[in-house]
Amino acid sequence: MNSSSFSPVSPFDTDEDFDSALPLKIRKLSSRHWTPVHVAKRAAHFLVQTENSRILDIGSGVGKFCLAAASASAGHFTGVEQRDALVRLSKKIAQKYHIDRAHFLHANILTVDFTEFDAFYFFNSFEENRDLTDKIDDEVFYNPSRYAVYSLYLYEQFESLPRGTRIATYCSPVAIIPDQYVMVGSEVKGKLQFWEKKY
């Protein structure tokens, strides 16, 4: 069962629909930090292969990708986010809109077991360690070495996963994708890339 056969009624048809659920301060960060709704839907279409598909959003922020994707597909989405306040906000929105296939973890990505998931979404969430433009808050400081540690961990986790694993990246560096993966498609002028582990 591909997500294309799933016909939900999504509360988020546009970015404005989703952003209206956010506090004003967080809403102002939307265009830089949170996945556009149409991107979330296209990524979900690629990542969700069955109704039991488990997708991890690496650095979920306010939960926009998980919430929009879970509203538009048959998969189960988990977001991992290091900011407790954003995790609580994500859960609040999920509860408000009765989105029960979106879950959120307050954790550092280095503690997450990737083998619990079938597919992955990454919107360059580590970049804030080396580019503080329009920063979310004061919790993260300029630390390029942390960016390198996180990126290496991501690469190693992806490398260890079984053949057939799918990854969707948005505005993200190709360097995090091991050679065993092949880009099988791209959209949004190449910003959204679809990868599958072939060997």
Query: Can you give the pLDDT at residue 81?
Result: 95
Distances (CA, A) of 163 to 48, 68, 118: 16, 27, 10
In 59-187, DSSP assigns E strands to: 76-81, 102-106, 119-122, 166-170, 181-187
Instruction: Find the helix packing angle between 64-72 and 37-47, rounded to 10°.
Output: 60
Tokens of 57: 């959003």
| pLDDT at residue 180 greater than cutoff 70 | yes
| pLDDT tens sequence across 31-82 | 667 899 999 999 999 999 999 999 999 999 999 999 999 999 999 999 999 9
Residues 70-99, mean pLDDT to the nearest whole number? 95
How many whole angstroms separate alpha carbon 78 and alpha carbon 67? 9
Looking at per-residue pLDDT, the higher value among 73 and 137 belongs to: 73
- Note the CATH number of domain 3-197: 3.40.50.150
Q: What is the pTM of this model?
A: 0.88
CB atoms within 10 A of CB 63: 28
Query: Can you give the pLDDT at residue 140?
Result: 55
Query: Can you give the pLDDT at residue 181?
Result: 98
